[in-house]
Amino acid sequence: MTVAELKEAIDNLNFEERAQLEAILHPYNPDEWDKQMEKDLSADGRLAWLVKEVDEDIKAGKLQDMP
């Protein structure tokens, strides 16, 4: 089967079948996810700006505990 044939077959899958294929090709691995989140949230990570913004909001009293 060629890549083009595979692409055509995938295009013909319904939503549930695509979800099943996605689970096979990209299985959920919580350890990898946790490691990626730690990396992204680190001081030089992709989401460092967000952590800084939240920290500033906390210090400014803009956030409060959830009820």
Q: Where are the domains of the chain?
A: 30-59
Look at residue 30 in the predicted model and tell me its pLDDT.
85
Prediction pTM value: 0.50
Q: Please report the DSSP string for 1-48 in residue order.
A: --HHHHHHHHHT--HHHHHHHHHHHS---HHHHHHHHHHHHSTTSTTH
pLDDT tens digit sequence for 6-16? 999 999 999 99
What pLDDT, on the 0 to 100 scale, is given for residue 17? 97
- Express each pLDDT in 22-45 by its tens digit: 999 988 888 988 999 999 999 999
